Structure 1
Amino acid sequence: MRWNDLKIGKKMMLGFGIIFFLLVVVSGWSFLGLGNLLREGIEVAGGNALRGELLQREVDHLNWAKKVAAYVYDDNVRELEVQLDHTKCGFGKWYYGEGRNEAEALLPLLREPLAELAEPHQKLHESAGKIKEALARKESPDGRQQAQRIYATDTQVNLATVQGLLDKMTGMAKDNILSEEQMIQTVKRTRLTIVSLAIMALLLGVSFAWFITRSIVRPIVTCVEAVHQIAAGNTEVQLDTTVRDETGMLQAGMAQMVTAIRAMTKDADQLSKAAQEGKLTVRADAAKHQGDFRKIIEGINSTISRLVMLLDNMPAPAMIIDTDFTIHYMNELGAKVGGKTPAQLLGTKCYDHFKTSDCRTDKCACGQAMRNGQEANGVTDAHPAVGVDLDISYAATPLRDEQGKVVGAAEWVCDQTEVKKAAR
């Protein structure tokens, strides 16, 4: 279905639907963007906490090792003040508690190094216990040497392993978990995307609104202009009747109205032209028209008929001819003097009816009126029928069309027979 075939209501619904869809797209993208930012914020917070935890445990184990070294090498240190249970130190509580599970959930890559960390971490704390036992045996002269050997072979080796794994996990967390700088860049990209989508949606919405409004308003403006032209008497208007919406229906209705007006105008012009040419028997077919248009044509027909009735009731012969002297109208009395009816005389020559001495001569008043373009008078005799001999005076008036061209003449006859007889 073409766009122009859609009803105005459907066009408006489609327009609002498109705008609503654009709003949904922008809102949905904004919601997803904010959701991503929230998840990334949680990830950044978790990553910072994890890195902080791992760094802190590195420092804790270094401090732990320093205390063990002081206990081994410093004669002034009499007590080993470190945690010997690997599950109860700060890292042990984190490792064997929820901290490890949360770290693995945040970064699954940590599972392997965390698993590797269990044994060296346990041995690290066990080495401190062995050192304490070695130094506690006072009867053994080589207790300190044994403690130093344990520190060098067990404690430092396992400490290096633990520190290496913690450092490795810190690097993995840094490389695989969003940093604050990365999150800021994500925020900027999300903001730019949302703003861009909003601007695009606004432009598209305005464009669709303009297009839909134009498709509705433009035909209405055309109709208004056509109405003004028709009101001014101009029926040569251009209307688009191919559109199927309400504006198209309106234009189609106006086109029908214009057609009816043109038909009425054509018939009125035909009657006017016929009257100018003296063809007073011409009538328009009022049945072709409807409503008031029909009344107008019937009124014009009636007006001409009344005029003809007045001419028919004149007490003197009257006729209308064209430039070829062909009779277009003859009143009742004019036909009666020759023993004929007006209908019988239509289309015949006037000189074949009245048969005056002036006929077909320069004395003919009708001929003079048509040649000179002004009224002419004459006195002559007429013989319209066998045994009918009349003395007449007559006058002729030229008939002109809309351009002023002479197209015929009207003649009025006065019977002077009785007057002439009385004078003789």
Structure 2
Amino acid sequence: MKFSNLKIGTRLTIGFFLVLALMAALTACGVNGMQNIQKRLNTIIDDNVHKMNLLQDMSESVHIVSHSMGTLVLMRNESEMVLEIKKVVDARSKYDAAILVLEKKPALEVERVLREKIKGAQADARVVNDQIIEFARGNKDEEASALLIKTAEPLNQAWQQALDQSIQLQKHANEADAVAATATYENSQLYMGALSGVALILGIVIAWVITRSISRPIISAMNVANTVALGDLTSHIEITTADESGQLLHALKDMNDNLVSIVTQVRHGTETIATASAEIATGNLDLSARTEEQASSLEQTASSMEELTSTVKHNFDNARQANKLALNASDAASRGGVVVAQVVETMGFINGSSRKISDIIGVIDGIAFQTNILALNAAVEAARAGEQGRGFAVVATEVRNLAQRSSAAAKDIRILIGSSVQKIDAGSLLVEEAGRTMKEIVISVQQVTSIMAEITAASEEQSAGIEQVNQAIAQMDQVTQQNAALVEEAAAAAASLREQAENLSKVVRVFKLDNTQHMMPMASQLNLNGMTKLTSVTSRGSDQVATDGVKSGSVPNQKNLLPVAVGGEWAQF
């Protein structure tokens, strides 16, 4: 399969995949180089430098021991000798700890040989150094000096040289690893630069190829669209790819071919439209006159129905108002009956309260009578007491006077309460009579209200029926007037249609066609049994009038008519 036949998305995917693959290779190369450099650095830091530090600690310990041996030989003070010997012990402990860590480290053959040499030198020197310490403690200065000069110093120097050789070996290893890391960095840089260049070149090539494969068909499509926009339908469209751009060119080719066919049919159809529109205009004028006569009759009928509707509505409004008044009277009578019942009930309460007050006054009168008797008894007792009971007699006299006055007041109140009770009883009888009268009024008003409701319902039904008849006549009148207007508009539209058909013919001539293609003979365009559908939209924008076809008797010379469209293409255009 050709690359240009692949879909645009597939081509873009392949291009991006190649570029991403090169980027992945570039990343892998960089990561591998960094890993190698990291490995070298780990070797230098964790292995070589650590070993060198351990060896330097060991060398320093050996130097301390050698210096202490010379110092011990010259010392005479026991306490100073003890301190110096402690330095030797500490240095040996530091040395032993360092060599234990060093032996755990991985080593090359050369390192193992040097380690054995260091161990041998350590063993020989440590034995001699121990003898020097013993001689120094025993104040054997000559033996200690002779042993130090002849034996200990050469052994310590050999021991120190072995350590120095190991340190130099680690330095050389560091230098070698650093050189290897630098070489790895340079190689990674070289590989990454080469891959970057290849990725850049390949990306440019892929972008150029994909852009060219997309832009060329699109430019061709733009040229075709521009020529069609200018009215030139003679473009020759060549399709060389099967991708989306090729499909676009194929669609443009189909569009151009369809436009050629449509324009050809429009040129032939405009003549048919002009002839048919003239016949339609004549028929519409005749229909318009008859429709106007019918509309005039309907207007007179509608006027009469409107007067009848107005009268019925007026009767209905009067009945409804009378019904409302009756309902209001019924409600007022009902409320009056309720108020009268409440008054009767209140009068009963007042009557009962008055009787209770009369009883209370009787009790007060009895108390005053008993108080009067007690005052008389007190006065008699005071008289018996003689001079000593005078004060008490005065008080008894005042109490008796008060009792008499209370008794007189109670009698007056009893008389008044009795009179009030009699009047309340008379008022209660009158209120009960008024309540019965209000009930009779309520019943009568409710009957009147029921009759008025029936009258109102009947008037409403009558008004609704007449309103429906009036609406039907109004709708008929409106439809008739609309039909008349539509017929007039159709006649005007038919005349305008003929003029527009001529203008359309002039407009279609703007298109440039290839005379050798898409030409349809006149005989093949004839459709003697076809139906022409003409639609005119009214000025109100809400109604449409359609005629199913032109009758054979109303169109002369029908054989010369051409169909509006073939295969529905006119409607699509």
* Structure 1 position 215 matched with structure 2 position 213: yes
2:246 counterpart letter in structure 1: G
Shift of 1:168: 1.6
Q: Matches of 2:216 and 2:123 in 1, distance apart?
A: 86
Q: Matches of 2:116 and 2:75 in 1, distance apart?
A: 35
> Structure 1, residues 311-348: CA drift from partner, whole Å, max 9, x if none?
xxxxxxxxxxxxxxxxxxxxxxxxxxxxxxxxxxxxxx
* Structure 1 position 94 matched with structure 2 position 92: no
Query: Residues 128 and 152 of structure 2 are in contact (CA less than 8 Å); yes or no, is this contact kept in structure 1?
Result: yes
> Structure 1, residues 208-245: CA drift from partner, whole Å, max 9, x if none?
3443233223322222223333554264546352x343
> Structure 1, residues 157-195: CA drift from partner, whole Å, max 9, x if none?
332222222222222212222589769957974895697
Secondary structure of residue in 2 paired with 1:176? helix
Shift of 1:92: 1.8
2:218 counterpart letter in structure 1: I
- Provide closer, same or farther for how the CA distance between residues 249 and 154 of structure 1 changes in structure 2, counting only shifts above 3 A: farther
- Aligned runs of 1:125-144 on 2, under 5 Å? 125-137=126-138, 143-144=140-141
> Structure 1, residues 241-260: CA drift from partner, whole Å, max 9, x if none?
2x3433334445656777x5
1:8 match: 8
1:12 counterpart letter in structure 2: L
Shift of 1:93: 0.8
> Structure 1, residues 109-159: CA drift from partner, whole Å, max 9, x if none?
523322322121122222211212233445xxxx43432343244422332
* Structure 1 position 32 matched with structure 2 position 32: yes
2:104 counterpart letter in structure 1: N
- Provide closer, same or farther for how the CA distance between residues 153 and 250 of structure 1 changes in structure 2, counting only shifts above 3 A: farther
Q: Matches of 1:75 and 1:183 in 2, distance apart?
A: 57
- Aligned runs of 1:320-331 on 2, under 5 Å? none
Query: Residues 121 and 162 of structure 1 are in contact (CA less than 8 Å); yes or no, is this contact kept in structure 2?
Result: yes
- Provide closer, same or farther for how the CA distance between residues 149 and 171 of structure 1 changes in structure 2, counting only shifts above 3 A: same
- Provide closer, same or farther for how the CA distance between residues 164 and 129 of structure 1 changes in structure 2, counting only shifts above 3 A: same
Query: Residues 44 and 174 of structure 2 are in contact (CA less than 8 Å); yes or no, is this contact kept in structure 1?
Result: yes
2:168 match: 171
2:222 match: 224
* Structure 1 position 66 matched with structure 2 position 64: no
2:550 match: none
- Provide closer, same or farther for how the CA distance between residues 86 and 67 of structure 1 changes in structure 2, counting only shifts above 3 A: closer
Q: Matches of 1:117 and 1:153 in 2, distance apart?
A: 20
- Aligned runs of 1:374-385 on 2, under 5 Å? none
2:52 counterpart letter in structure 1: R
Q: Matches of 1:38 and 1:89 in 2, distance apart?
A: 35
1:298 match: 520
1:44 match: 44
2:114 match: 113
Secondary structure of residue in 1 paired with 2:85? coil
1:225 counterpart letter in structure 2: N
* Structure 1 position 248 matched with structure 2 position 246: yes
Q: Matches of 2:119 and 2:153 in 1, distance apart?
A: 16
- Provide closer, same or farther for how the CA distance between residues 209 and 88 of structure 1 changes in structure 2, counting only shifts above 3 A: farther
- Provide closer, same or farther for how the CA distance between residues 81 and 137 of structure 1 changes in structure 2, counting only shifts above 3 A: closer
Tell me: higher relative CO, structure 1 or 2? Use CA pairs within 8 A at least 6 residues apart.
2
- Provide closer, same or farther for how the CA distance between residues 21 and 72 of structure 1 changes in structure 2, counting only shifts above 3 A: same
Please, what TM-score do these two structures have when normalized by structure 1? 0.51
Q: Matches of 1:296 and 1:207 in 2, distance apart?
A: 44
Shift of 1:68: 0.7
Q: Matches of 1:153 and 1:86 in 2, distance apart?
A: 25
- Provide closer, same or farther for how the CA distance between residues 237 and 101 of structure 1 changes in structure 2, counting only shifts above 3 A: farther
- Provide closer, same or farther for how the CA distance between residues 7 and 153 of structure 1 changes in structure 2, counting only shifts above 3 A: farther
Query: Residues 131 and 147 of structure 1 are in contact (CA less than 8 Å); yes or no, is this contact kept in structure 2?
Result: yes
> Structure 1, residues 249-295: CA drift from partner, whole Å, max 9, x if none?
4445656777x589979x99xxxxxxxxxxxxxxxxxxxxxxxx9x9
Q: Matches of 1:23 and 1:119 in 2, distance apart?
A: 58
- Provide closer, same or farther for how the CA distance between residues 297 and 146 of structure 1 changes in structure 2, counting only shifts above 3 A: same
Secondary structure of residue in 2 paired with 1:89? helix
Secondary structure of residue in 2 paired with 1:239? coil
Q: Matches of 2:152 and 2:236 in 1, distance apart?
A: 105
* Structure 1 position 156 matched with structure 2 position 160: no
- Provide closer, same or farther for how the CA distance between residues 300 and 101 of structure 1 changes in structure 2, counting only shifts above 3 A: farther
2:55 match: 54
- Provide closer, same or farther for how the CA distance between residues 296 and 152 of structure 1 changes in structure 2, counting only shifts above 3 A: same
The structure carrying a bigger helix percent of its residues is: 2
Q: Matches of 2:43 and 2:238 in 1, distance apart?
A: 66
* Of 70-79 and 158-167, the range deviating more from structure 2: 70-79
Q: Which runs of 5+ in 1 are unaligned?
A: 269-292, 307-424
The structure carrying a bigger strand percent of its residues is: 1
Q: Matches of 1:37 and 1:59 in 2, distance apart?
A: 32
1:214 counterpart letter in structure 2: R
Query: Residues 69 and 133 of structure 2 are in contact (CA less than 8 Å); yes or no, is this contact kept in structure 1?
Result: no
Count of aligned pairs between the two proteins? 271
- Aligned runs of 1:304-383 on 2, under 5 Å? none
Query: Residues 51 and 173 of structure 1 are in contact (CA less than 8 Å); yes or no, is this contact kept in structure 2?
Result: yes
Q: Matches of 2:91 and 2:116 in 1, distance apart?
A: 14
2:22 match: 22
1:239 match: 238
Q: Which runs of 5+ in 2 are unaligned?
A: 266-514, 529-573
1:100 counterpart letter in structure 2: E
